[in-house]
A = this chain, B = another copy of it.
Amino acid sequence: MAPVTEHGEEMYALVERLYPLCRSITGDGVRATLDIVGEYIPLDVHEVPTGTQVLDWTVPQEWNIRDAYVADPEGNRVVDFAASSLHVLGYSVPVARTMPLSELRAHLHTLPDHPSWVPYRTSYYKPDWGFCLAQETLDAMPDGEYEVRIDSTLADGHLTYAEHVVPGQVADEVIVSCHVCHPALANDNMAGVAVATFLARELARETPYYTYRFIFAPGTIGAITWLARNADRVERVKHGLVLACAGDPGSLTYKQSRRGDAEIDRVLRYVLTASERPHRVTEFTPYGYDERQYCSPGFDLGVGSLTRTPYAGYPEYHTSADNLDFVSPEAMADTLAVCRDAFAVLDRNRRYLNLSPYGEPQLGRRGLYDALGGRSDTKQAQMAMLWVLNLSDGEHGLLDVAERSGLPFDTVAAAAGALHEAGLIKT
């Protein structure tokens, strides 16, 4: 296993490249983002035309933007899209006007409690335009006539999302989903995209048991589009994880699936607890990221969400302060490590059937048990075999064995391997 810090730096470098792009739920910013991710892992990019009905929604017009600014009465660009893609209200309709500040104010969004930060705001489904700026900037703007220009287009086009598949031994799938629609926010969600990208590479080192499907799609409408276009695939999705806010300094938070007792929930609880990391496990709520869609009652998939500090849980959330200083290589490496550990458990969490369930099979004559009897310090490997044999009744998996025995999952999985090889258990 490569040193964790090395991947941290690589992921950070990816975030640095992705961060400045002007993403939205459609448009060239998403495409540019996927182009860069595609340099790391091959992507299947899907383009879904405007107007396509997806579940209860309709794919909207595509939004693209070239320039936007507010110029003061002396012609100075006091708010400038070129400085940060956050400055323009997402999905702003084009505008080219002059108006007094008093009229302009209704289109200006600030954060009075954080006067130096720029908020992130959108208006996807109601035609509007606006600018986001620091309260300090607004306070310094004199009365007078302002030139307002947004050089954007809203036109029939496409919604873009991408998939990357790591083929497994079985067709049953695990999905890893992260949103790619937020503009210059580092933690939310370029850190998630970077962790997902490197996770995909790690999983491909050996053929996993499950097939792992990575989905990079705009929030809400992207997940809904994927679900609409994959109705026949959904029943193959056995587990899933929504990855977001993967790089901030906070400790990890796992938000359980709607089912609460899905296997992914048990795996994450186990791995986070066993690792002795500080962490939190929270109940499902129908808010947050795209677990909202995967866990809608019609689908009710076993999909949880892993973040560090969760949705709206930090002051920098959805502001310009969620920048490259807010995320770190160490934090992303830590998130990646937990994802790998969790999928390593999930991938081996088989149920076996004891083929010799009446009494214990004689392990000794199979070379699986110490010949010298009477000692009180029985080895973990032998205990793990007894546990696997005892619980392999078709109702318990190896995670059950690890939890009930208190033995490390790896020890339990190795014991199952030895017993399987000896023909004492079968899947």
The interface of chain A, by Cβ under 8 A from chain B, is 55-57, 90, 119-126, 128, 220, 223-224, 227-228, 258, 283, 285-287, 292-293, 295-300, 312, 317-318, 354, 356-362, 364-365, 371-376, 378, 383, 386-387, 389-393, 404-405
Contacts of A120 in B (CB 8 A): 374
Contacts of A393 in B (CB 8 A): 297, 300
Whole-angstrom distance between the Cβ of A30 and the nearest chain B Cβ? 16
Contact A56 B287 (CB under 8 A): no
Whole-angstrom distance between the Cβ of A219 and the nearest chain B Cβ? 9
Contacts of A389 in B (CB 8 A): 286, 296-297
Most B CB contacts (10 A, CB to CB) among A56, A90, A125 go to A56
Contact partner, A386, options B287, B317, B375, Cβ 8 Å: B287
Query: Which residue of chain B lies nearest to A56 when distances are taken between CB atoms in the complex?
Result: B361
Whole-angstrom distance between the Cβ of A374 and the nearest chain B Cβ? 4
Contact A123 B383 (CB under 8 A): no
Classify the interface of chain A: helix, strand, loop or mixed.
loop
Contacts of A124 in B (CB 8 A): 373
Contact B390 A295 (CB under 8 A): yes
Query: Which residue of chain B lies nearest to A126 when distances are taken between CB atoms in the complex?
Result: B371
Contact B390 A286 (CB under 8 A): yes
Contact A373 B122 (CB under 8 A): yes
Query: Which residue of chain B lies nearest to A227 when distances are taken between CB atoms in the complex?
Result: B359
- How far is B361's CA from A224's CA once the two chains are assembled, in angstroms? 10
Contacts of A57 in B (CB 8 A): 359, 362
Contact B56 A356 (CB under 8 A): yes
Known: A121-B372, A372-B121, A374-B121. A227 touches B358 (CB 8 A): yes
Contacts of A300 in B (CB 8 A): 393
Known: A56-B359, A220-B360. A386 touches B292 (CB 8 A): yes
Pairs A-B, 8 closest by C-beta atoms: A298-B357, A126-B371, A286-B390, A298-B358, A312-B376, A122-B373, A297-B393, A286-B386
